[in-house]
Structure 1
């Protein structure tokens, strides 16, 4: 799709990767609505803040009604990582991650897909993760929720294609944002990944693989469990 002249909603756009996505879209000539639970925290000049809590159905419905006249690009970026252990962690936190990444994203798609279709078609991008493909105990609940979101992305891609709505997924490892502030390993520049992501949207890519770690994991699929988890006995 053509980014210049488009109208986009980016969820979780008040900070981190979402803010970089909003800035990149603005730079390419899009009208950008920045979704945030507290719109007062949106500080990017040129965007229009929108109150949006993706885990609150009433908030999602209100945002969809407010923006029904123009949106043709939805980027589902809002997310959390509680670092909850699957064996002995708080199940309420596991539910919260599923409510955010899976149910919340699905609720937003259900609300905005008719808007996008009614505006002549467009694109929905779900910001996934390399952890939707491979998972480790430190991010177990996050990875499980992202895996569910990836499966949902694939299903919606098929269902919405006939309505003129393209559904894409972004896979990326650690980004140099607040969410990964305590991670000591390699991190990608979120501004550079935002540019690559918007390039992928403009090229109508269904799957955007944004960094080397994601490409390595994707390439390891044919080798099965042994290739993806070589540490197993």
Structure 2
């Protein structure tokens, strides 16, 4: 995909990896970006740049009416970046209830599904375009300290692969981004070292430009972790299972 000819929509564009996607897309000459956030007031700093290519869009990916409204407004999108995500860092049994687990699944899995369903016809009308889904190394291994988040990301990985197959007929490129801890508000609770958002996003957009239609292992630290996992998946999973939830 030629980024210079693209019109993007980035969910969760107000901070972290979402904001990094916006910054790098602008550098690479994108035509327009719909910057989506639940509260558009949180986009104030981003919009202060005065770049006319940025179009604010109120969007909660768990709200079916808002997703449909976004698809009706952003009818020129050729690149959908499903970045919005949430992690409560709770165990499956140690959590007080399943509210956090349901929220993680609603945002990380169903939000990605609903957005892709809504925008698939839009992408098709422009020759196929591309979808980028933010996943996690925890799509591959379980971490009891973030049990339900890992489950939601494992579901999102499976979904991404199915979407790639289904959208192949309309020539839509589908990338799943695999990353370990990154310098974001979500990643700040994870141990150092942490990757920069620019490193993650740079690798993803390079892959997009190169026509990759697969998972992208983004960042040197993620690549090292993935190599270790592939060399001994059971060993890595056994080690991760020792990291139990911290009970109050």
* TM-score (ref. length: structure 1): 0.94
Alignment match, 1:7: 7
Choose from 109, 121, 125 the match for 1:102: 109
For the pair 1:221 / 2:230, whether they are aligned, the reply is: yes
1:181 and 1:88 mapped to 2: Cα distance? 22
Given that 1:221 and 1:228 are in contact with CA atoms closer than 8 Å, whether structure 2 keeps it comes out as no
CA distance, structure 1, for counterparts of residue 177 and residue 241 of structure 2 = 28
How big is the alpha-carbon RMSD for the aligned residues of Structure 1 and Structure 2? 1.7
| 2:177 aligned residue | 170
Is 1:202 the equivalent of 2:209?
yes
Q: Check conservation: 1:3, 1:25, Cα contact below 8 A.
A: yes
Tell me which of 148, 168, 192 is aligned to 1:141: 148
Equivalent residue, structure 2, for 1:33: 34
Q: Mind listing any 5+ residue stretches in structure 2 that lack a counterpart?
A: 243-248
Q: Name the SS of the counterpart of 1:79 in structure 2.
A: coil
CA contact (8 A) 1:7 1:73 kept: yes
Per-residue Cα deviation, 1:108-134 (whole angstroms, up to 9, x for no partner):
000001101111211000010111111
Superposed CA deviations along residues 26-72 of structure 1, whole A, max 9, x for unmatched, are 1111111111011121132321111110000000000000011x100
Counterpart-to-counterpart distance in 1, 2:104 and 2:235: 28
> Which of 78, 85, 94 is the matching residue for 1:88?
94
Deviation at 1:186, TM superposition (A): 1.0
Q: SS state of the match for residue 82, structure 1?
A: coil
Partner secondary structure for residue 19 of structure 1: helix
Task: Spell out, residue by residue over 1:188-226, the C-alpha distance to the aligned partner (whole angstroms, 9 max, x if none).
Answer: 011122111111111121221113443244333364423
Q: Any conservation in 2 of the 1:221–1:227 contact (CA below 8 Å)?
A: no
Conserved in 1, the CA contact under 8 Å of 2:203 and 2:219? Answer: no
Distance across 2 between alignment mates of 1:209 and 1:163: 25
Residues 63 and 232 (structure 1), Cα distance of their counterparts in 2 relative to 1, 3 Å cut? closer
Shift, 1:166, TM fit: 1.2
Measured against aligned partners, the alpha-carbon deviations of 1:151-203 in whole angstroms (never above 9, x if no partner) come to: 00001100101111111111011111111223342100111221111111111
Taking the aligned partners of 1:208 and 1:73, their CA distance within structure 2 comes to: 16
Structure 1 portions without partners, runs of 5+:
none
- Runs (4+) of structure 1 exceeding 6 A deviation are none
> Does the CA-based 8 Å contact 1:217-1:228 persist in structure 2?
no
Range that drifts further, 209-218 or 41-50? 209-218
